[in-house]
Amino acid sequence: MTQLALVIDLNVCVGCHACVTSCKEWNTSGAAGYLSDDRPYGQDPTGTFFNRVQTFEVGEFPNTDTVHFPKSCLHCEDPPCVPVCPTGASYKRPEDGIVLVDYDKCIGCKYCAWACPYGVREIDEHQKVMKKCTLCVDRIYDMSVPESERKPACVLACPTNARLFGDVHDPESAVSIAISENGGYALMPEWGTKPANHYLPRRKTRIKIHADELVRADNPLKKEGVLPKPDVKEPSLDDATSW
């Protein structure tokens, strides 16, 4: 069984919103119709977005860590939004695990948005149907684009490669390896939704220097300084040692 998903590396996300704009650009131009975008340059802009980048501050000044946090549909393996849909418009594809909305069946009752704890479903204010991330399902299977570009628009746009795309059920895939080797985790595990998308935590690279590493062990006189050099005429192995 295949479960396509994104793995988002919070360690390298710089919060540039390139994934947000490329997502909006791709998904507003597709066969499924536009995404609402009202007053984009006006006083109170609003619209439908599948992906957002949020920013959180962890800790207290001066010991703070700024976490940029991209959030889109997590394509849960047990999606709570699917069984509540009265029409069957909301469904999970068995072949690749993508959770999708059939815009022709959706009645716009918003019940699925109530049933999603992550707030990743949005009603399109003009088309009056529920919309959400499709993992660019109209792109990843499109044989007319080069194979290297058969990835979601957000993944292609990310300048720091913070977004990985692949099959999280295949233990050999790059995303599975990233999850297992870098401590990938799911959001709100308390609700048992088993999100397919995973996040990689912030990681700090530190070197540990032990006290005995600060002094040279082969220095019996414990005198640090310019070492006695052999005479220039004498044979030497390097600057420090002589025969």
Partner 1 sequence: MHPAFSVIFLTTLIGTGQGFFLALYTEQVYSVVELLPPQPASFYTLGSAIALAFLIAGLIASFFHLGHPERAWRSAARWRTSWLSREVIVLPALMGAVAAYGLVHYYEWDLNIIGIKTSAHGDLSLVVGAGGTALAFLLFLCTGMIYACIKFLQEWASWLTVFNYTLFGLASGFLLATAYAAYRAPALMYFYGGWTVVATAVVLATRVGSLIRNRRFKHKSTIQTAIGVRHARIVQKSQGFMGGSFNTRDFFHGVAPWLFRWIKWIFLVLVFPVPMALLFAGMIDRSVTLITSAFVIQYLGLLVERWFFFAQANHPQNLYYQTIS
Binding positions for partner 1, rule: CB under 8 A: 17, 20, 39, 44-49, 52-60, 66-67, 69, 71, 80, 82-89, 105-111, 113-119, 122-123, 125, 127-129, 185-191, 199, 201-202
Q: Is 54 helix (H, G, I), strand (E, B) or coil?
A: strand
Residue 173: count other Cβ atoms within 10 Å of its Cβ.
Answer: 19
Q: How far is the CB of 14 from partner 1 (least distance, A)?
A: 14
Q: How far is the CB of 7 from partner 1 (least distance, A)?
A: 13
CA dihedral 125, 127, 130, 131 (to 10 degrees): -90
Give the nearer residue to partner 1 in terms of CB position, either 70 or 166: 70
Give the nearer residue to partner 1 in terms of CB position, either 60 or 213: 60
Give the nearer residue to partner 1 in terms of CB position, either 13 or 140: 13
Six-digit token pair at 105?
């069946």
Give the nearer residue to partner 1 in terms of CB position, either 34 or 111: 111
Q: How far is the CB of 102 from partner 1 (least distance, A)?
A: 10
CB distance 5 to 196 below 8 Å? yes
Q: How far is the CB of 192 from partner 1 (least distance, A)?
A: 9
Q: Helix/strand/coil (H, E, C) string of 96-149?
A: CCCEEECCCCCCCCCHHHHCCCCCCCEECCCCCCEECCCCCHHHHCCCCCCHHH
What is residue 242's DSSP assignment?
Answer: B
Give the nearer residue to partner 1 in terms of CB position, either 106 or 135: 106
Q: How far is the CB of 210 from partner 1 (least distance, A)?
A: 28
